[in-house]
Amino acid sequence: MSKTFNAFQMAQQQFDQVADLLDLDHGTRELLRNPMREFHFLIPVRMDDGSVQVFRGFRVQHNDARGPSKGGIRFHPHETVDTVRALATWMTWKCAVVDIPLGGGKGGVICDPHNLSLGEQERIARGWVRQISKVIGPLKDVPAPDVMTNGQHMLWMMDEYETIHGGHFPGLITGKPVGMGGSLGRTEATGYGVVYTIREALQTMGMEIKGSLASAQGFGNVSQYAVELFQELGGTVVAVSSWDQHDQVAYTFRRMSGVNVAELRSISDRFGGIDKEKAAALGYERLEANAWIEQEVDVLIPAALENQINADTVNRIHPRVKLIAEGANGPTTPEADEVIKARGIYVIPDFLANAGGVTCSYFEQVQSNMNYYWSREEVLTKLDDKMTAAFQAVHALSVEKELYQRDAAYVISISRVADASKMRGWV
């Protein structure tokens, strides 16, 4: 990642552009372009060898005019508060674009789970909750898993919160294991949501997923389920990329007949890192990290980290590409957007394309608070309905006002949050 890249500056730049379009007043701009609250804290942890390490933790609550803050918790060695601010901001717009009654939040701890035992990770998770337990809760701020955290971390966090507050609060946190307050369909929700929007976008172009080719960046949760559903619907994904922990670089794995998700899962670690020797034995070519972007396909699915389609990489996109569906948060920089606009490539912006995760998290929160749980089919049907309606609203506005798709999605989101803030009397 570029050392000069700042995700929060990018989020603010995107906001400012749309604030101008909407002619927002000064007070509303100042309120919405910055987080309402930030918490920075230290988490002392007794390590397995008896030593104490102190980890830095964050929670940022960007805006809660439309409902409790909502957003994941990352465990990442390169976490920065500006990344957390950006992700919290994008979560506000994401909840608004799919019209669910939540605001944006995000959390993180600077650590590397690759180098931590499960016991050490548990102590970090519980320590994070101890530092922030007064300002999170089912009606205040509802965390969830994110990069390198999972249902087990969420359960440790919920248990710590319940111990502190003396009761059962399953609606505190989402992404929990099924049977412990988790929702069926949650694991696949983000990836499936990406594909629901791809299906709708291709239809507007007179195309279908069946017979289409795609290439994806990443092989984490989002990418795996997006690839899985894309291929179930008759498309072919020819390449995915993945981080190699041993070599400390990413590789692209390509098989022109199509990748097999189940096969690749069987040779991947828990972070989605694909074993390169085993992949070669299964007939996959191993290419350099950014080779996923230059494949001759109809659809690109960046589903890893921010700042991946940028001024340096955007010109490597093959002329055949007609659609980019942003499974990751902030994968495309404003500079790259200008090139993509000029080429007429249809973009499903991140906070719409990957909103399936937070939508299903909302469904989980509702189920937890009711203590009544839906079937997987019911969850995924509701998810498809929400994602399709959100896509259609954004597409219709982009056509009506001749707006770039990202700008159309922002206009809808920012208008909804600005209206809620005004109705509350904040601005």
Task: Tell me the catalytic residues.
Answer: 106
Which are the contacts of 221, defined by CB distance < 8 A and separation ≥ 6?
A: 187, 190, 191, 272
57: enclosing H helix or E strand: strand 52-63
Residue 91 in tokens = 């979560």
CA distance readout (Å), 119 to 2, 114, 124, 252:
33, 13, 9, 33
Structure-token match 């500006």, residue found: 82
Give me the helix-helix angle, 405-423 and 81-97, nearest 10°.
90
Residue 262 in tokens = 């189940």
DSSP 349-402: -HHHHTTHHHHHHHHHHHHHHHT----HHHHHHHHHHHHHHHHHHHHHHHHHTT
* SS3 at position 61: strand
Give phi and psi for 194, each to the nearest 5: -55, -45
3-state SS of 281-327? HCCCEEEEHHHHHHCCCCEEEECCCCCCECCCCHHHCCCCCCEEECC
Residue 21 in tokens = 């379009």
CB 264 within 8 A of CB 274: yes
Question: CA–CA separation, 270 vs 392, rounded Å?
Answer: 35
Q: Residue 18 burial by CB count (10 A; 0-12/13-18/19+): exposed, middle or buried?
A: buried
CA dihedral 386, 387, 391, 394 (to 10 degrees): 60
Beta strand 346-348 with 323-325 is parallel
